[in-house]
A and B are shown apart, each in its own frame.
Chain A
C-alpha cells in the first residue's frame, strides 16, 4: 500500500430535477401556496467510497449517465457533495474541459494569463512559463489575435498547453485526449506519458475501453451512481465488457 492521494468517503450527490424549473418569484409563490413545491430528486452518486493511492492511474468506467463525470467534478471541487466528503493530498490539475474561462474577446496572450489565473497560477509563474506555453501550443504568430478568431483545434492546443504547464501530483482527465489533429494528439500523449513516468496520480474517464486499458492500472466501475466494482484494470474491464455485451 502506497500513500493515499485521493480519498472519496461515502459521497452522495443529489440534484433537483424539478419537471418545470421554478426560477421566478411568481411561480414560486403560487406553487408554494398550493403546496406543489416538490422536486424530483435524482441521485447521481449513491454512497460512493474509494481511495486512490499515489502513483495509481485510475480509470473510471460506466455507461452513459452512470455518474462518471459527476464523480470527477466532485473530486475537482466543482460540485460539493450532498453527503460525505473528499480528501485530496497534493497539487491537482483538473482537465475536465479545457479552456473554461477563456474569453473570446481576449487575445491569446491575455487568455494565457486569464486561464492561468483561473487554474490558480501566479503571475510570476506564468511570466516564467510563457515561452514554454507558446512553444508547445505552436501559436506564436496568432498570439495577439482575439480568441474568437481561433479554430477549435487552436483553442484546444492553447488550453492543453496552459493546463499542463504545472507538474501536478494529481491529474484529472475527462476525455480530453481526443482533441486536435493526429500530430498534436501525439504530442499531448507524449507529454502525458512524461507525467506518468514521473509517478503522477491520474483519474481518467473515457468511453474508450482501449484507451483506459492503455493508460490505467486500476479501475472502478459505476452503474446508476453506485460503485459496483473496483480493483485492477483487467478484472474491472472484464466486468464492464460483460455488462456492455
Chain B
C-alpha cells in the first residue's frame, strides 16, 4: 500500500479537479440547455413559472383566505421570495439525488470523478435559480418595494442556501444509490419542509410547538434572512433575531456539507456495484 500525506491527497484532488473542470462546465451547460429544449418559450419559463405560481398563491391566500401582510409590504413579494428559494431547494435536491442513477450508463463505462454528477446538478439548478431572481427584481419594482443598502446582504443568504442544498444533495445522492425508496420518501419530506418554511403565511400567527418547528427549519431561516434584506430593508447582521437565524443556518449548512462530502467519499466506490 502507498500512504499519502494530507497535503499530497489535497494536491491530487486539485489536480484531478482541474483535469475535469471542463466536464463540470459542460455538465452544468447541458443541464440548463436540456431543461428547456423543445419548449417554445424556452428559458423564459424560469421567469414565467414562479410568476404564475405566485399569482395563484396570492389569489388563493389573500383574496380567498384573507391573509394580509403585517407591515404593509406587498404580500405577493413575500410569497415570491419564499417560493423562489424553496423552488431551488426542491429542484436541486431532487435532481442531485437522482444524478448517480441517471448517469449510471456513463459511470459504468468510463472513469469520471463521481462527485461531479451531484455537484453539477446543484450548480445548474442554482444558475437557473439565479436567473429567475430577475423576476423578483421586476415584481419588486412594479409593486413599489424600495431597495435599501441591505439588499447587498442577500448575497450571504444565497451563499448559505447553496451550501445547505449542496450538503443535503450529497447525502441524498449517496443514500438513494443504496435505497431507491428515498426518492419517494423525500417527496413527502420536502413537502413537509415546504409547509414549515412560511412561504405563504406569517410566523407571527404560529403558537407553541409549531413556531419552534418552523424556527428549527434552516430553510425557513434562510428565507427569513433573504426577505429581511430584499423586502424589509433590515440588516441581517444587526437585527438580533435575524442574526441568530443566520448563524444557525450557516452552522447547519456547513455541517451538512462536511457530512455529505465525507459520506459520499466513503461510499462512492460501491456505487458501481449497486446501479
Contact = CB atoms under 8 A, between A and B. Distances in A.
B112 interface: yes
Interface string A58-85: 0000000000000000001111100001
Interface string B109-135: 111100000000000000000000000
Interface residues of A, number: 31
A28 B22 CA distance: 39
A120 B116 CA distance: 13
A133 to B, nearest CB: 16
Interface stretch (B91-99, B160-168, B178-186): B178-186
A142 interface: no
Contacts of B108: 78, 100
7 contacts: A25-B182, A78-B107, A78-B111, A101-B109, A106-B34, A110-B30, A117-B20
Nearest to A103: B30
A15 B181 CA distance: 23
Contact-residue size bin, chain B (C-beta under 8 Å from the other chain): 20 to 34
Contacts of B106: 100-101, 118
Interface of B: 1-2, 19-20, 22-23, 25-27, 30, 33-34, 37, 105-112, 178-182, 269, 272-274
B22 A122 contact: yes
A114 interface: yes
Contacts, number: 70
Interface in A194-224: none
Contact of B110 (A23, A85, A94, A110): A94
A79 B23 CA distance: 20
A26 interface: yes
Interface of A: 15-16, 23-26, 28, 76-80, 85, 94, 96-97, 100-101, 103, 105-106, 110, 113-114, 117-123
Contacts of B33: 106, 110
Contacts of A23: 178-180, 274
B155 to A, nearest CB: 29
Given A76-B110, A100-B105, A120 B181 contact: no
